[in-house]
Amino acid sequence: MKKREVILLALLCGALGQTRPEGPATGPAAVVQETAAQKDARMHWWREARFGLFIHWGLYAVPAGVYQGKPVPDLGEWIMNNASIPVNTYAAYAKAFNPTKFNAEQWVEMAKAAGMKYIVITAKHHDGFAMFKSQDPFNIVDATPYGKDPIAELAAACRKAGLHFGVYYSQSQDWHHAGGYAYGRDGRKNGDHWDAAQAGSFDDYLQGVAIPQVRELLTQYQPDVLWWDTSGPMTREEAGELHALLGLRPGVITNNRLGGGFKGDTETPEQRIPVTGFADGRDFEVCMTINGTWGYKSTDVNFKSTQTLLRNLVDIASKGGNYLLNVGPTAAGEIPQPEVERLAAIGAWLKVNGESIYATGPNPFPAAAVATSPATLPATSRPRTPPVVWDWRATTKPGRIYIHLLTWPASQRFTVPGPVQVLKAYLLADPEKALEVVPVAGGLSRVTLPAVAPDALDTVLVLQTR
């Protein structure tokens, strides 16, 4: 297919809204409009998953937040930009990148034990370094002593274990390749470079690096998710050339960060939880870090508590979203132990209470009916706008309402904030023991609880309804 035809195909896809190219973008292709039912089928596994693992891993793990003997402020994966490291100087880190302790099956086993249903890993971040075998030589197979393809190994391990697999790709911001965009830090204007080697034509970068690599990822690794990042000033025509490649992987789920007006399938609030989800019913996925940074940074030991992380998961699920929780492996290929421990603790809770998270719907009660007390969730989990604060959250399934009691009522009672006919009430951890339910004024019901919370993190009360 000629370049102009690819662009027209992409533009038509965007204009139709729920449309996707069918067949490879390099040959004859037809545009088919995706019906609501078809989209629901495509998104089905993702909507049921609720919990996924984000992995930021790349060449930035070698300096680990330190350059020329000094810690560099801000995010670990942004060290090249933040410290204005010259292209050749940064590229030399590849000679020291030998992650011999990486074990794809162990990583997948850890994610599965944590109750996660999918994994998304950085195939190429803004530093331009590919973590997969690519036609571009700046990749982990060709440029490092390691010489192996961790993306291929992780994709295979995910499929063997029954997890879905996705890749993150920085499609426009690239600090290594000539012509790639660079978002300014330290007073530089957005788009400025700090090394003459970065100067060049963005179209040359798009045609020579981004498009070939996206094609490689879609065809060689068959991801279930393609997670775009930082669209930059790409035009609709430029973004359309990348969008047209999605026909190479029918069924792939994409986010809203491609650019050019292409919405993708999911919204991606970062490091914040929306107050009530999205009014238009858009699928959304909250991405968050366990500590303060995405890529490994040796000086960042400010790890969030298990309570914070778990309550974030519950809060997001109660609004109908997914939680994509990040880990930042070291240059040796190890996930930091504090992150491993927290994921294991969440997994232990989900073994008992997973029914209240997976494949659930959002809170069924009006937000105004459940606003109660000062904030019970840590500040890091709150959105930037003042939230409605609850002492509990609710998720649903047909015939079930799951009340996540984040603060145990001192009264040992929970009043259902809506006229729901409760046929039976019990704790999810002890389903055989029915709890007393009595009617109260206004057609409401009140449930009598044990004196002490069985689980201090989150005890789940189940209301069986019609």
Please indicate, yes or no, whether residues 263 and 292 belong to a single structural domain of this protein.
Answer: yes
pLDDT digits over 334-386, tens only? 999 999 999 999 999 999 999 999 999 999 998 655 444 333 444 444 444 44
Which range, of 9-18, 28-37, 325-334, 441-450, averages the lowest pLDDT? 9-18
Residue position matching structure tokens 């490091």:
271
- Domain with 277, as residue range(s), is 3-356
Structure tokens at 316: 């997001």
Please indicate, yes or no, whether residues 334 and 374 belong to a single structural domain of this protein.
Answer: no
Residue position matching structure tokens 């080697």:
197
Residue 362 resides in a domain: no
Asked whether residue 28 carries a pLDDT value surpassing 70, the answer given is no
Last residue of a domain, one of 356, 389, 420: 356
Using DSSP's 3-state secondary structure scheme, residue 120 falls into strand
For residue 18, give the nearest of 278, 262, 286 by alpha carbon: 262
Please indicate, yes or no, whether residues 440 and 392 belong to a single structural domain of this protein.
Answer: yes
Alpha helices in 208-292 (DSSP H): 211-216, 236-243
Q: Which helix (H) or strand (E) holds 396?
A: strand 392-397
For residue 377, give the nearest of 284, 313, 448 by alpha carbon: 313
Please indicate, yes or no, whether residues 171 and 224 belong to a single structural domain of this protein.
Answer: yes
Asked whether residue 330 carries a pLDDT value surpassing 50, the answer given is yes
Rounded mean pLDDT of the chain? 89
Please indicate, yes or no, whether residues 128 and 274 belong to a single structural domain of this protein.
Answer: yes
| Residue 22 contacts residue 250 (beta carbons within 8 Å) | yes
Please indicate, yes or no, whether residues 327 and 428 belong to a single structural domain of this protein.
Answer: no
pLDDT digits over 104-137, tens only? 999 999 999 999 999 999 999 999 999 999 999 9
Q: How confident is the model at residue 232 (pLDDT cuts 50, 70, 90)?
A: confident
Using DSSP's 3-state secondary structure scheme, residue 461 falls into strand
The pTM of the full predicted model, rounded to 2 decimals, is 0.90
pLDDT digits over 42-93, tens only? 999 999 999 999 999 999 999 999 999 999 999 999 999 999 999 999 999 9
Please indicate, yes or no, whether residues 9 and 152 belong to a single structural domain of this protein.
Answer: yes
More confident residue, 437 or 8: 437
Please indicate, yes or no, whether residues 256 and 165 belong to a single structural domain of this protein.
Answer: yes
More confident residue, 423 or 387: 423
